[in-house]
Amino acid sequence: MGSSLVQSNSAHDIEQLCIESGISSFNTVKIVPLTDYHDVLNRINQNQ
């Protein structure tokens, strides 16, 4: 079984797409934010 990657400005939009298309009725949908590793390091360094 494969995975798909969907990009959106809103997790709500992805959730609505999964509900309307029926995907969420037979698959587990995980919506996670993707953060650039460089951005994470910058945030850590700014907080120190």
User: What token pair was written down for 31?
Assistant: 């919506």
> pLDDT, tens digit, for every residue of 22-32?
887 777 888 88
In the chain, what percentage of residues exceed pLDDT 70? 96
Residue 34: inside a domain: yes
Question: Up-side HSE of residue 42: CA atoms within 13 Å toward CB?
Answer: 5
Confidence of residue 1 (pLDDT cuts 50, 70, 90): low
Residue 4: inside a domain: no
Can you give the pTM of this predicted structure? Answer: 0.54
Residue 5: inside a domain: no
pLDDT value for 2? 67
> pLDDT, tens digit, for every residue of 31-44?
887 778 788 888 88
Q: How many domains does the chain have?
A: 1
Residue 32: inside a domain: yes
Residue 42: inside a domain: yes
Residue showing tokens 């959730």: 15
